[in-house]
Structure 1
């Protein structure tokens, strides 16, 4: 209906900047609704970067979904039920413009386009008659959440308007006490960065208000006297906002510390630091901290002291960098007098008129693009070397030209993360029963205890969640509510989200108030700290609007082993939490659509939910990266020009699997040209030995496989061979008969070359790689043998040998290091008929997660030390869908439900007991219905009951050595 629609609306914006950093901008327009109302009213909307839509004050939607700017997605809402007949109605939109590229957005410019369509045509459309205003109280200097994402938030509710979405006086642009102005038109539809507007191709996400399960701790805490967060990447290279590529730099931050008396002065780095730190030219006499945190301690006398902090990075992707100061005596900060330029000024914790820091440098900068992992270090400038050696800046007059102030938008001293990680004092308190009232909203609020210090309490949401944090409270003006979401706690241990600033800082106005964040987050626990409260704080509710892809509960699995049942449930929950407008790797750290991850996630989804729209959408997004790199990017749509060849090969495989799953030959015809283009691009990297030899991020597993970023990597060659073979089958479905034989032949040629050059006779195994200089890898890994089996590269004795290495891994070989790699391992075990080993490994690896209270699947295995970001972290992400393999394999192997024909017209039922007494469940079919299986064992006898739709051919296969009785029930599809 909306494809190719003609827009009368214009893209609009306000203010003086086209691409402001982290600006939240309000738009609104009112109109008269007929006395009889409107039976039909559809509102079409898109924005750069994200929007929240309100109709007469009611939230009507969020969007848009991620897309390439060449095909900007728009949403359409039926809003007739929200309109007020015979009255003035208001359409209001809050637009969050990022102002920089990240892993799910490419920088365009701030803009909104909206059109309300009624039965007789367009009722209103965005143009210069709309009112606009920056949202008062939102601080654009709020910290960057992570390199993959946009921004957290610092909100001063004393300035925040309460009724701007409903106030009918806005036509005069003076509503709600805001500085309204007329919007300006920036482009017509189809112009500007957004070359084409295309309708949303998946359902809207749901929102469900969920409350905490408990308040689990209460403490009186003290933060450092000063804490700040910096965007060093943009400070060092302002033009880096146009890409999400990492950069390298060498520079110093400088600040003057003015202490009233002799004291111990500590400089803290809550997210870690590697560079040198000097106070009056002297390095710290004592440092401490649990990795990656670092704290440098100085003994200082009364007076002013110059602090220099080396900020060197080989690759900085853009996460917030945190810095704090604390002392046992009062102190202030001021800008150092290092140059005759206007750098004077002071600060005691406010950046209203600037900040106390000066930048010295950068002495060198470089953007890292495709081969960032192998990038050489930056050259050292003589002045930089002298400063690093402790030479006083005052003795370097030529340094003056290198000194400059920091852009205040790239710095904030409202640093919730730093103040939560670095607590200079804590006192644990018993949690009063009355405080638990916030778990289920009650008529009476929970009153927080009055403390001399700050009051911190921790809220458990009961399980990992993904959505929008909200709260309602009563407080005095100026009270600060800091909220910090984390994924894991165990005893007294808190796993801080290093690399993710998952925080909100909310400065209260006076009285009762509520707030719902428009920023999507993932977490399980909320660390909430109330600061500077001059009167008792009454908390009425704290919650999360759980936002999910709309999914019916179609897949089921239960068996006689309660551990496997719980593992299946956390696999299902993980998959759901990682289904947003695409599959995402995790809802907390990244919210990024990693192309390779999505192949495995799609298979799990087929078995636990049966959704196909989201899979198709993910597959379609990948070719949009071709203009950035013909090999296709590994995460899309993204400003990071990064390629993992295996991720593109997984995409090719997933295209074929989708067509086979849905029996959609039309889709094969649509996607084939893009698959062919990528195949041809990669085939250009076949060397004179007939092997894929490419310089890129040659990743498969986090484990220390010998997988260099240049040369011949065996697992990569194997997957390219398989991708070509399956792409030939895709070409067949697409009616491209001449391409079928071409890619079959090329696959076989590569198969021959792999066997000729990558086989090791002594070990009777495939080596990991051949380095760029011709050295054959001395390492051998289980991973390479698993992929060799999976891709069917070997026959006869070689095949038997690599299978034996998979079933009994040799001592000293690199072992599997991630649940992602285990997915391929389980595929091989299933093909070898070893469901017993598959189930045992699931029990072992996922059972360890459950031992630590997991409610979702982890990114890494807790037993694999090489994967850990620090000695205390069991894993980075505690909710990562590339790890949800049990959701697929328990249904496919234990229930034994497998397709034998395209579109599931013919299905094999081949249950595998694997030592279980009974199992039951359901596997969704692509369109409608499901296949239900229930079996139980009595000795060597199996009783099997299967319920399936009429018209689906069933092929039964009994486990080896088992006799059985079978009952088949049929249902009819509508």
Structure 2
């Protein structure tokens, strides 16, 4: 089964429909795969892309579309397939039915399938959609062609719903974009604009059956064609359609936890924790700082009445900033006094109506909300201020019980970090970028596997990065992305990501189909290798880590172009590619990659080893040294076991070399464990303890430093303890592709007892460990058909399916 066909199966299983009007109380109805018309991937659709006449399809705009039709009776099934550019929200008879499309690129433009039969009724029915195009203000992750909306009925009986000139449309004049610069946001900021909404120009009730759309013009059909599935000849309008392959996002109601500051008003008790009305007097100005007490990604919902002409601003921040300190300094994230609010915001201009609901078009990231209101001649009443959490529907299935409470706290924070950085794609951070970088995503994918066992978003990420490949062979550093940014080492980490997927999830056919992309990356790199295998000076941004000593995160490069770190990453990619090709692809390529790896391994040892420092240097000049470089040298097997252990001891003790930051600490920790020093793991988490002490509720992007002030408070590349608590402390790891064999090699460190489990493709792996009288008692349970090996202090025992009890 090819990737596109499999996506159809996955998509229709996971796409659901909402059968309740209030987004905070959704009920979903799965689409039965047997009911989906298979011809949708085999021919062009009957539905036509539509837009709004006399509106530029390339400019910013928010648009509404409506289709009214009659049914003799309520149908048992009514499936529609929906997409838009940039995005849409669909309503059926006034009730919210879904939103999308899942992010992709023009060559792989996603559509959703919704079962809307439970929302239909005999007689008059109305489909309504809001579609927006953020144009030049769009998020960096939002690819786009032009404004457009497409809805296709599944079979002939549903064709009455097809988009075309029978739909009506309206350009909403109430919306204006609020653009924020990098300078305003104190860092690279590319998540899209804020919304300014003027309620006086808003068509209230536009999605309801009763709304009068008589004056709305007919929609304008795209003259360049109908919906075009990918693989069906061509797409005159550039959107090549593929079914969504990930589930719809989780949406869960939540309330703000606390009021921290108030000026200009006395706030009633209970607000905002409960729905308590707050009256803002006429001709007044107020300012509230509200605290969620933890970071979240959510749609805020503000419900107000009266107050004609009032101006409301809702601002969003991960943390408040210290006043008078270094630029970008945040201090303790729990502190409010003596700090300033810096963040993006939305604005709502009221019309005096009752129960006016403001909800931004896209979700927001915040711990702190700044609510500013200026009223005119009428008082304004806040009926409610609430939110709807949104994120990929991961479920924590792993379990860990131990006698060290800090681990439980770290797991909670790490899981929150991972979840807030996972939506329709993985995201480096939810506040500033919302971009799916290969280097970040490799770690995020492993967190997902060890904590939830859900590999769908990882599979999606691997495919999207593969789809981003250029003719040269590199993937983009991040995908989807409007800007073509290249970080060549991230294409190598993408190979590592595919290898991880192969080892931990049982999906060899997908890996096999992706191997040509691996070949393309390595062919690109081969063009830069010198006779000895070492890389010449590499183009583009060769980011490695946010070490303060490295300008732009790029490690030192010698005058001859030499870089140990770049050579080591290439070596590891050759090793991964060789094993995958040997098992799933070409034995000839496997041998070729292994020969390249053998040559490069010898060259690295010769070029970069410094006899005086007894560690590997960053360049052939042997003037610069780093923990990251030496960690990769250990992981790549440049030296034997004894020498590797000595290197790890030196780099952990030597503070004069460049220290690994949160991202590269993942690889440093792997190297420590590789040499048998896993008992030190818990002692290496001091910087994570410091983050807790500083009031962070998610893990930050990088340590605070003079050259690299903290930016993102939520970066999932720092959540790797959520891997190692299970892989290192419990010791559970894959020993064969598809997790078909298990290795259990625990390192308890300071713990006396620990037990837990992780999800497995065939069920669950559970481990229970307890120190007794200088030894260890272990109980391991493996799924049916899975065996493995348990190793403790150099002793190994066989593990079989079911429960095994061991004593050492």
Q: Which has the larger radius of gyration?
A: 1
Q: Deviations over 1:35-81 (max 9, x none)?
A: 2x111111111111111111111111111111110121111111111
- The answer to whether the Cα contact below 8 Å between 2:152 and 2:161 also exists between their aligned partners in 1 is yes
Deviation at 1:709, TM superposition (A): 7.5
Residue aligning to 2:279: 447
* Cα distance per residue 1:335-385 (max 9 Å; x no partner): xxxxxxxxxxxxxxxxxxxxxxxxxxxxxxxxxxxxxxxxxxxxxxxxxxx
1:200 aligns to what? 244
Matched, 1:697 2:541: yes
Matched, 1:643 2:486: yes
Which of 555, 568, 571 lines up with 1:707 in the alignment? 555
- Distance change (3 Å), C-alpha of 1:852 and 1:787: same
Query: Structure 1's 217 and 497: CA in aligned 2 closer, same or farther, altered over 3 A?
Result: closer
| 8 Å Cα contact 1:574-1:881 kept in structure 2 | yes
- Which residue number in structure 2 is paired with residue 852 of structure 1? 694
1:491 aligned residue (335, 359, 369)? 335
Task: Give TM-score, length-normalised by structure 1.
Answer: 0.71
Give 1:292's aligned residue: none
2:126 pairs with 1:90 = yes
Alignment partner of 1:215 out of 259, 274, 277: 259
Corresponding residue to 2:64 among 5, 14, 26: 26
Partner residue of 1:150 out of 189, 192, 203: 192
- Given that 2:252 and 2:388 are in contact with CA atoms closer than 8 Å, whether structure 1 keeps it comes out as yes
Contact kept, 8 Å, 2:308 with 2:350, in 1: the verdict is yes
Alpha carbons 2:529, 2:535 under 8 Å: kept: yes
Residue 784 (structure 1) aligns with: 629
1:729 aligns with 2:579: yes
TM-score in terms of structure 2 length? 0.85
Which residue, out of 697, 700, 718, partners 1:883? 718
User: Residues of 2 paired with 1:495 and 1:723: CA distance?
Assistant: 46
Pair 1:154–1:650, CA change in 2 (3 A): same
TM-aligned CA distance change 1:732 to 1:160, over 3 Å: same
Q: Following superposition of structure 1 onto structure 2, how do residues 824-903 of structure 1 map, counting pairs within 5 Å? A: 824-842=667-685, 844-862=686-704, 864-868=705-709, 875-903=710-738
CA distance in 2, matches of 1:787, 1:13: 53
Hey, what does 2:789 align to over in structure 1? 955
Equivalent positions of 1:72-151 (< 5 A) are: 72-84=109-121, 86-100=122-136, 102-118=139-155, 120-140=157-177, 143=180, 147-151=189-193
Correspondence 1:912 to 2:753:
no
1:719 paired residue number: 569
In 1, Cα distance between equivalents of 2:796 and 2:504? 30
Counterpart of 1:633?
476
CA distance in 1, matches of 2:708, 2:527: 34
1:11 and 2:49 are equivalent in the alignment: yes
Conserved in 2, the CA contact under 8 Å of 1:911 and 1:958? yes
- When residues 701 and 441 of structure 1 are mapped into structure 2, their CA distance, relative to the original with a 3 A threshold, is same
Please state how far the C-alpha of 1:167 moved relative to its aligned partner: 4.1
What is aligned with 2:780?
946
Q: 1:478 to 1:452 in 2, by over 3 A?
A: closer
RMSD of Structure 2 on Structure 1 (CA): 2.7
Counterpart pick for 1:674 among 514, 517, 527 = 517
Indicate the residue corresponding to 2:202 in structure 1: 160
Note the C-alpha offset of 1:180.
4.1
Q: Check conservation: 1:894, 1:911, Cα contact below 8 A.
A: yes
Q: What's 2:328 paired with? A: none
Equivalent residue number for residue 21 of structure 2: none
Say whether the 8 Å CA contact 2:166–2:219 is kept in structure 1.
Answer: yes
- Secondary structure in 2 aligned to 1:946? strand
SS of alignment partner, residue 707 of structure 2: helix
* Alpha-carbon distance, 1:125 to partner: 0.9
Q: Do the aligned residues in 2 keep the contact of 1:945 with 1:966 (CA within 8 Å)?
A: no
- CA shift for structure 1 position 487: 0.9
Check whether the contact 1:575–1:881 (CA below 8 A) recurs between aligned residues: yes
1:780-821 CA distance string (max 9 Å, x none):
11221111112222347764553333342x2321112x2111
What is the CA–CA distance in structure 2 between the aligned matches of 1:147 and 1:857, rounded to whole Å? Answer: 19
CA contact (8 A) 2:782 2:801 kept: no
Of 455, 471, 474 in structure 1, the residue corresponding to residue 305 of structure 2 is 474
Name the CA distance, whole Å, in 2 between partners of 1:806 and 1:812: 9
Task: Provide the C-alpha distance between the structure 2 equivalents of 1:33 and 1:739, rounded to a whole number of angstroms.
Answer: 60
Q: What's the secondary structure of 1:589's corresponding residue? A: coil
Give the match for residue 272 of structure 2. 438
Cα gap change, 1:755 to 1:10, in 2 (>3 Å): same
**SS, match of residue 202 in structure 1:** coil
Residue 390 of structure 2: aligned partner: 547
User: For 1:713-735, what per-residue CA distance to the aligned partner results, in whole angstroms no more than 9, with x for missing partners?
Assistant: 22111011110111111112323
Matched, 1:924 2:759: yes
**Structure 1 partner of 2:499:** 656
Q: Secondary structure at the match of 2:473?
A: coil
Counterpart of 1:585 (choices 409, 428, 440) is: 428
For the 8 Å contact 1:13–1:186, the answer to whether it is kept is no
Structure 1 partner of 2:87: 50
CA offset at residue 192 of structure 1? Answer: 3.8
User: Displacement of 1:845 after TM fit?
Assistant: 1.2
Q: How many residues align?
A: 731
Q: CA offsets per residue over residues 88-144 of structure 1, 9 Å max, x none?
A: 111111111121365312331111111133573523211122111111311146557
Q: Structure 1 residue 815 and structure 2 residue 663: aligned?
A: no
| Deviation of 1:193 (Å) | 4.6
Shift of 1:543: 1.8
1:607, CA displacement in angstroms?
Answer: 0.8
| SS of residue paired to 1:733 | helix
Write the distance in 2 (CA, Å) between the matches of 1:214 and 1:949: 46
Verify the 8 A CA contact 2:464 2:479 in the aligned structure 1.
yes
Distance in 2 between residues matched to 1:959 and 1:533, nearest whole Å: 74
Cα deviation, 1:881-924, whole Å, max 9, x if unaligned, reads: 11101100001111121122222222223332211122222211
Change (3 A) 1:627 1:19: farther
Q: SS of the residue aligned with 1:574? A: helix
CA shift in 2, pair 1:967/1:50, >3 Å: closer
Query: Are 1:769 and 2:619 matched, yes or no?
Result: yes
**Distance across 2 between alignment mates of 1:155 and 1:731:** 55
Is the partner of 2:259 in helix, strand or coil? strand
1:857–1:593 CA distance, 2 compared to 1 (3 A): same
What is the aligned partner in structure 1 of residue 8 from structure 2?
Answer: none
> Which residue is equivalent to 1:615?
458
CA distance in 2, matches of 1:494, 1:885: 33
CA distance 1:671–1:484, change in 2 (3 Å): same
Task: Give distance in 2, aligned partners of 1:709 and 1:698.
Answer: 10
Could you tell me whether the CA contact under 8 Å between 2:279 and 2:381 is conserved in 1? yes
